[in-house]
Amino acid sequence: MDLSTHYLGLRLPHPLVVGASPMVDNLDTVRRLEDAGAAAIVMHSLFEEQLSIEHRATVYHMEIYADAYAEARSYFPEASDFALCPCDYLNQIRRIKQAVAIPLIASLNGVSCGGWIDYARQIEQAGADALELNVYYVATDPIESSAEVEDRVVDTARQVKQSVNIPVAVKLSQFYSSIPNLCSRLEEAGVDGLVLFNRFYQPDIDIDSLQVVPKIQLSDASELPLRLRWLAILSSCLRVSLAVSGGVHVAVDAVKSIMCGAEAVQMVSAILRNGPRHLTTVLTDLRQWMDEHEYSSIRQMKGSMNLLRCPDRGAIERANYMHLLQTWREPV
């Protein structure tokens, strides 16, 4: 049975990839993930905005009281040069590449063009096999139009793509009014793949203290259908690699994703819940399912249920929504 797949031009033995998560911070975990059979690993994001803010904050606080009082020239030692390259991140890439043989996909978070794009080059030099550009952005400004937001995404992706030779994927959120249009512009800009979808950190509210509490919620199965729809739509009209991220927990989820057009299936929450061995289980189950259902390769099922090929196109499009409404019954 041939489980292999091509994702971002990388030949993977199977589609199961560990998605962006803090698991990469620990080399032992990384090794265990490889041992469990991961086809590739995505690093957590390097946040350009955060780096820039941190540098500015440090400089500000070091300077604000300097030369202000007769007895103190300053309140901090003269800093040697800051590690302006994201050294920690780059070193971790190097360490992981030394520790494991599977492809490593780095992740960079940036929402606008800027000097940070140089980080992409540094990531490539550190040895990453591919780069996932995470355009995590919450639009809050009523003056900013959706076109402006999308233009920025495309420009950023183009610049990153131009600055490196390794494949580049863009990880998107689902909050765009015309996802196919945006994605085809990204394809034109040269990106090699798309990851559907980013999951935002969700704010929660403490009702006693009346404070907003940032929260990371692990995904659950309910998140998959949305992704399946967009995989099915996009795989029917784009040539770029597609990966699913969010809601894949068991082998059947992977099968669905692949059938809708995914070339790679990213998993995080299920591994965080169950440990790296879960990956082995999913892989075994996938193989078993394919065996039972007489599939000989991933290639065979890839995209079989996309918009072009699925028997009921309307169910994926708007009709799906209508149909659900009509069949929904008040719970008893």
Partner 1 sequence: MKNHEGGIGTGVETATGRRVMVTLDGNEAAVSVAYRLSEVAAIYPITPSSTMGELADEWSAKGRANIWGTIPRISQMQSEGGAAGAVHGALQAGALTTTFTASQGLLLMIPSMYKIAGELLPFVMHVSARTLATHALSIFGDHQDVMSCRQTGFAMLCSNSVQEAHDMALIAHVATLRGRVPFVHFFDGFRTSHEVNKIQELSDDDLRELMDDEAVAAFRRQAMTPDRPVLRGAAQNPDTFFQAREACNPFYEDCPRHVKEVMEQFAARTGRRYGLFDYVGDPQAERVIVLMGSGAQTAEQTARWLCDHGQRVGVLKVRLYRPWSNEDFVRSLPPCVSRVAVLDRTKEPGALGEPLYQDVVCALREARETGLIDHEPSVIGGRYGLSSKEFTPAMVKAVYDELDRPHPRRRFTVGIMDDVTHLSLDVEQGFEILGEEVVQCIFYGLGADGTVGANKNSIKIIGEETDNWAQGYFVYDSKKSGAITISHLRFGPEPIEAPYLIGKARFVACHQFHFLERYDVLEHAATGAVFLLNSTMPADRIWEHLPVGVQRAIIEKDLQFHVIDAYQVARDSGMGGRINTIMQTCFFGISGVLPREQAIEQIKKTIQKTYGKKGREVVDRNFAAVDNALAHLQQVNYPKQITASESPPLISHKAPDFVQRITGVMLSNHGDLLPVSAFAVDGTWPMSTARWEKRNLATEIPVWDAELCIQCNKCAIVCPHAAIRAKVYNPDALAGAPETFKSIDYKAPDLKGDKYTIQVAPEDCTGCRLCVMVCPARDKSNPRHKAIDMEPQAPLRDRERDNFDFFLTLPDPDRSRLRLDVKGTQMLTPLFEFSGACSGCGETPYIKLLTQLYGDRILIANATGCSSIYGGNLPTTPYCTNADGRGPSWANSLFEDNAEFGLGMRLALDKHREQAIELLLRMAGVIDRPKLIDELLNAPQSNDAQIAAQRARVEALAVRLMEIDSPESSRLTLLADYLVHKSVWIVGGDGWAYDIGFGGLDHVLASGRKVNVLVLDTEVYSNTGGQQSKSTPIGAAAKFASAGKSQPKKDLGLIAMSYGSIYVAQVALGAKDVQTVKAFQEAESYPGASLIIAYSHCIAHGYDMAFGADQQKLAVESGYWPLYRYDPRRTDAGESPLQLDSPAPKTPLADYMRNETRFRMVEQQDPDRFRELSAAAQRQIQRRYRLYEHLARMATDEKPAAGG
- Least gap, CB of 21 to partner 1 (angstroms): 18
Q: Residues 72, 99, 218, 221: which binds partner 1 (CB under 8 A)?
A: 72
147-156 own/partner pairs: CB under 8 Å, 24+ apart:
149/176, 150/176, 150/182, 150/185, 152/111, 152/112, 152/113, 153/111, 153/182, 153/186, 154/182, 154/185, 154/186, 154/189, 155/113, 156/110, 156/111, 156/112, 156/113, 156/117
Confirm or reject binding of residue 56 to partner 1 (CB under 8 A): yes
Q: Which residues pair with 17 in a beta bridge?
A: 40, 266
Q: Which of 2, 54, 148, 291 binds partner 1 (CB under 8 A)?
A: 54
Least distance between partner 1 and beta carbon 279 (Å): 27
Question: Toward partner 1, which CB reaches closer, 70 or 332?
Answer: 70
CB of 46 to partner 1, least distance (A): 12
Number of chain positions touching partner 1 (CB under 8 A): 40
**76 or 200, CB closer to partner 1?**
76
Q: Which of residues 197-256 bind partner 1 (CB under 8 A)?
A: 210-211
Is beta strand 168-172 parallel, antiparallel or unpaired with respect to 40-47? unpaired
Under rule CB under 8 A, which residues in 78-97 are in contact with partner 1?
78-84, 87-88, 91
Of 35-43, 52-60, 292-300, 310-318, the window that binds partner 1 (rule: CB under 8 A) is 52-60
Using the rule CB under 8 A, give the single segment among 33-41, 74-82, 228-236, 286-294 that binds partner 1. 74-82
Instruction: Kindly tell me which of 77 and 142 has the beta carbon lying closer to partner 1.
Output: 77
Residues near partner 1 (CB under 8 A) are 51-52, 54-84, 87-88, 91, 114-115, 210-211
